[in-house]
Amino acid sequence: MNIYGHGKILLTAEYLVLHGAKALALPTKKGQSFTYTPNPGSQILNWKSYDHTGHCWFEAKFDSRSLTLIKSSDNETATRLEQLLRAVARQAQNGWNREGQVETRLEFDRQWGLGSSSTLVYFLGQWAEVNPYAILEETFGGSGYDIACAAGDGPLYYRRKGDSPRIEKAIFVPPFSRQLLFVYLNQKRNSRTAIKPLLNKKPTNTLIEQADALTQEMAKANTLEDFQRCMQEHEQMIQAYINQPTVHASLFSDFPGSIKSLGAWGGDFVLAASASPAENYFKTRGYTTYFAYHDFIL
C-alpha cells in the first residue's frame, strides 16, 4: 500500500478556524509518502521514518496485536505514535491488519512545520479505512484543515465541523503570484501549544463574519494592492484577537511591502508580498529559506 499526503499552508483565519471561521488553505507541492508492506503472522509492526535527506530519523517496533511499544530510537516520538495507533484501533470497527512494516519519507525539512503530523494522521485514516478527523479529535486536536490539505489537489476552503468538516475547492490563481514569497522564520512553532490558550477564547459572531469576508476577498483579489490591503486587515484582526504584535511590526518593520503570518504566529512560514523582488531583503537578514509561490504551492 502506497499513500501520499501534501503539506499545508493556512493562508487565512488562523486561530479563528478552530471556532468555525472559513479558511483558505493551500496544499504544498512537497509532502510525505507512506508505504505499508504486510507480513502476515509476524505479530510485529515495524516503523521507519526518513527525513528529506534520506536519513532514518526514527524507528520503532510494536506488538501488532496490543500496539505496545517494544523498542524505539526516540521514546517521546514513539509514545505519540502509539497514542495515534491506539486511537486508530478504537476507530477501526471491522479490524485492521497492521502486521508488517511502515516506511514514511518526508520531502520537506521536519522543522518547517508543513505537516509531518497531519500527513501521518491522513495516512493512518487511509490505511485503516477510518475517518482521519475522528482520529485528530481524539488525539492531537486542532482544526483539521491540514488533513484536508494532505488529501487536496489544490487550494481549498475549509470550515471546521467536528469530524465532518465542510471542504470546497477554491479558485485561487493570483495573477500577482510572482510577487508572493513564502519565508521560513528559522524556528518551528508547536501549533498544539500555540492554540491551547485560544481554544476557550470564543470569538464573537462579528469576528467570525469578518474572517469569512476576508477569506473570500483574499481569494478573489485581482491586484497586488487589493491583496496587500486584505493581508494588512487580516493581520490587524488577528492581532486584536490574540493580543500579539504582528510579524511585520516585530521583525520586518522596514520591509517595503506586506507580510502576513501563516498558521500559529511566531514561527514556521510567513507570506511576503511586494511590488519589487524581496529575496535579497530576507537573505541579508539571515532568512535564507524562502520559496516563490509557484515553486511551493500545489
Tell me the DSSP string of 170-189: -----TTGGGEEEEE-SS--
Which are the contacts of 62, defined by CB distance < 8 A and separation ≥ 6?
Answer: 44, 45, 47, 68, 69, 70, 82, 85
pLDDT at 197 over 80: no
For domain 173-296, give the CATH superfamily: GHMP kinase, C-terminal domain (3.30.70.890)
CATH number of 2-168: 3.30.230.10
Are 191 and 238 in contact by the 8 Å Cβ rule? The answer is: no
Nearest to 258 by CA among 239, 241, 234: 234
Q: Other CB atoms closer than 10 Å to residue 219's CB: what's the count?
A: 20
Question: What single letter denotes the amino acid at residue 252?
Answer: F
What was the pLDDT predicted at 264?
A: 83
R_g of the chain, CA atoms, integer Å:
20
What was the pLDDT predicted at 163?
A: 85
Q: Distance of CA 153 to CAs 6, 156, 219, 243, Å?
A: 8, 9, 17, 34
Domain boundaries, the chain: 2-168, 173-296
Task: Give the pLDDT confidence of 28-59 residue by residue, as tens digits.
Answer: 999 999 999 999 999 999 999 999 999 999 99
**Which range has the worst mean pLDDT, 107-121, 156-170, 180-194, 284-298?**
180-194
C-alpha to C-alpha distance for 122 and 135, rounded to whole angstroms: 9
Look at residue 109 and give its three-state secondary structure: coil
Nearest to 218 by CA among 51, 71, 25: 25
Hunting for cell 508492506 — which residue is that? 37
- Answering whether pTM is above 0.75, one says yes
Q: How confident is the model at residue 191 (pLDDT cuts 50, 70, 90)?
A: low
